[in-house]
Chain A
Amino acid sequence: MKINLNGKRVESKSKTLMDLVLEQGFDLTSLIIEINFEVIKQETWQDISIKEGDNVELLSFVGGG
């Protein structure tokens, strides 16, 4: 299945959002995830299914002025 991950079209075998995060090897503690413009709470990541064409944004807070 193809999804849009941080603006890039990528192939993913992940069924849930948690699978996707682990598949991509991201650090869980600082991650903020938005799917199709909706922020997804971390406690629900295992329950959220990833679907073909989803726009997934993996974000985090960084230094800025």
Chain B
Amino acid sequence: MTDIKNDRLILGDVEFTSRLFTGTGKFASKKFIAPMLEASGSQMITIALRRVDPTADKENILNYIPDSITLLPNTSGARTAREAVRIARIARQAGCGKFIKIEVITDMQYLLPDNHETLKATGILAKEGFVVLPYIMPDITVTKQLYDAGAAAVMPLGSPIGTSRGLEMKPVIKMIIETSKIPVVVDAGIGRPSQAAETMEMGADAVLVNTAIATSQNPALTGRAFALAVEAGRIAYLSNMTGKKLYAHASSPLTGFLRE
């Protein structure tokens, strides 16, 4: 029997019991972040690096994230591999650990990632000892190339960032899950717990949810709902549920005492 209690996701040298990764973007107040982490049990959260805006809120976001949480700095704002590498190095030197989510985007309408530049950045940063999680346009060939380049996991998008449209890329993500030698973390577009459950049922190793939780009226409660959905989906996957059938199969005996 599958041992659910000891089910772990290992990335780099860190073991995660929660398969829900979260993000710090778009919260109405940073004060909602810690209660959300507590309620959801999420153990990894993304942060971003920006030029200081003297007119903006000066409070350090890191003060709102408990020390037990693994930080996943992203390279948002990078348009080339070179820029992503620069951001990653700054994040590590600034004390954020060795995890990095590579996000290289040049398409500003749909915010779709540039797989070519992402692959280049992955190779460079993996050689420097980073635990690299590249955010990609779902593609099985690129997934294999990222594995060869040293990525710790691959993060295909479900649908464009912030759209809550769910698994629009489902058929390709399914192929990635079937063929990938590294964990698959579905990132972006997961807008409802039911979509997260569906993703995990398919065999994804984790999901990353930011917008849906952060923009909810109650991020802690929404985080909890996502956590339960992720867990249910994961257990369903591990239980090897049977698939769909074209014709009905009775759940009760159809022969009885009323007729032969």
Q: CB distance B51 to A59 under 8 Å?
A: yes
Q: CB distance A65 to B23 under 8 Å?
A: yes
B222 within 8 A of A: no
B contacts with A: majority SS? mixed
| With contact pairs A24-B54, A63-B27, A63-B61 given, residues A32 and B49 touching in the complex (Cβ less than 8 Å) | yes
A26 vs B60: C-alpha distance in the bound complex, in angstroms?
12
A10 within 8 A of B: no
Closest residue of chain B to A32 (Cβ to Cβ) is B94
In the assembled complex, the CB of A34 is this many whole angstroms from the nearest CB of chain B, namely 6
Q: CB distance A39 to B58 under 8 Å?
A: no
Interface size class of B (residues with CB under 8 A): 35 or more
| With contact pairs A34-B90, A39-B90 given, residues A61 and B26 touching in the complex (Cβ less than 8 Å) | no
Q: CB distance A6 to B51 under 8 Å?
A: yes
A58 vs B210: C-alpha distance in the bound complex, in angstroms?
26
Q: CB distance A30 to B62 under 8 Å?
A: yes
Most chain B beta carbons < 10 A, residue from A24, A57, A64: A64
- From B47, B58, B89, contact of A64 by CB (8 A): B47
Within 8 A of B (CB), among A46-60: 57-60
Q: CB distance B74 to A57 under 8 Å?
A: no
Count how many chain A residues have C-beta atoms less than 8 Å from C-beta atoms of the other chain: 22
- From B26, B62, B90, contact of A59 by CB (8 A): B90
A-B contact pairs, 8 of them (CB 8 A): A34-B90, A58-B51, A59-B50, A61-B50, A62-B49, A63-B23, A63-B27, A65-B211
In the assembled complex, the CB of A59 is this many whole angstroms from the nearest CB of chain B, namely 6
Most chain B beta carbons < 10 A, residue from A24, A30, A60: A60
Having A62-B24, A64-B74, A65-B46, one finds 7 other A-B pairs with CB under 8 Å, namely A32-B94, A37-B86, A59-B52, A62-B50, A63-B27, A63-B47, A64-B24
The interface bits of chain A over 1-38 (1 if a CB of B lies within 8 angstroms of the residue's CB, else 0) are: 00000110000000000000000111101111010010
B140 within 8 A of A: no
B76 within 8 A of A: yes
Closest residue of chain A to B50 (Cβ to Cβ) is A62
- From B25, B58, B86, contact of A63 by CB (8 A): B25
In the complex, what residues of B have CB within 8 A of residue A25's CB?
54
| With contact pairs A29-B60, A57-B51 given, residues A64 and B90 touching in the complex (Cβ less than 8 Å) | no
Q: CB distance A61 to B52 under 8 Å?
A: no
In the complex, what residues of B have CB within 8 A of residue A7's CB?
51
The interface bits of chain B over 207-220 (1 if a CB of A lies within 8 angstroms of the residue's CB, else 0) are: 01011001000000
In the complex, what residues of A have CB within 8 A of residue B91's CB?
61
Q: CB distance B52 to A63 under 8 Å?
A: no
In the complex, what residues of A have CB within 8 A of residue B232's CB?
none
Within 8 A of A (CB), among B61-84: 61-62, 73-74, 76
In the complex, what residues of B have CB within 8 A of residue A62's CB?
24, 47-50, 61
